[in-house]
């Protein structure tokens, strides 16, 4: 009996490290399948600048997915881990991003139309909502379309 318990504990210990790796793979695969990997901007015809940000979704060699922001100023650029991604039955994708630079974990739902996407919902882990039904809460304006400028390298 004791040997069986030890064997089960050993098996459980071996399974633990694979769970995060499996989640990372699923996240990257969802981003890839939905067509999100690459660099997006409001204006691909203009270079990155303080008024024309570029957002990247990439998967590193270890399988971790990242949301990168090129804000036109290297001291402000950042990289945040995409900890979850799920393609919904309605064709949208929900991603969870751990924005350590601003101390917020946010879940963002995007819809896509060809090579463009827009945020339909954006909720923080503390319940704060900045986008609902594709409308910014602070000004009532619709979220803009972001265009895919280039694939991830």
> What would the pLDDT profile of 32-67 be if each residue is shown by its tens digit?
999 999 999 999 999 999 999 999 999 999 889 999
Ranges assigned E (strand) in 1-128: 38-41, 54-59, 65-70, 78-87, 93-99, 104-113, 116-124
* Cα–Cα dist 32/37, whole Å: 6
pLDDT score for 11: 39
Find the helix or strand (DSSP H, E) in which 33 lies.
helix 18-34
Residue bearing the bigger pLDDT, 66 or 16: 66
pLDDT band at 24 (very low <50, low <70, confident <90, very high): low
Residue bearing the bigger pLDDT, 24 or 105: 105
pTM (2 decimals)? Answer: 0.81
Q: Which of 48, 58, 31 is nearest to 112 (CA)?
A: 31
pLDDT score for 102: 86
């Amino acid at each position: 009996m004791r040997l069986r318990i030890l064997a089960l504990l050993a098996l459980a210990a071996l399974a633990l490290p694979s769970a995060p790796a499996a989640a990372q793979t699923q996240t990257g695969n969802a981003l890839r399948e939905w067509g999100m990997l690459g660099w997006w901007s409001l204006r691909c015809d203009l270079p990155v600048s303080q008024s024309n940000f570029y957002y990247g979704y990439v998967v590193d060699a270890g399988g971790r997915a990242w949301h990168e922001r090129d804000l036109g100023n290297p001291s402000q650029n950042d990289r945040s881990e995409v900890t979850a991604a799920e393609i919904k039955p309605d064709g949208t994708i929900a991603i969870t991003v751990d924005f350590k630079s601003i101390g917020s974990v946010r879940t963002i739902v995007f819809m896509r139309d060809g090579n463009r996407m827009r945020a339909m919902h954006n909720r923080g882990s503390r319940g704060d909502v900045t986008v609902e039904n594709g409308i910014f809460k602070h000004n009532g304006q619709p979220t803009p379309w972001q265009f895919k400028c280039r694939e991830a390298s």
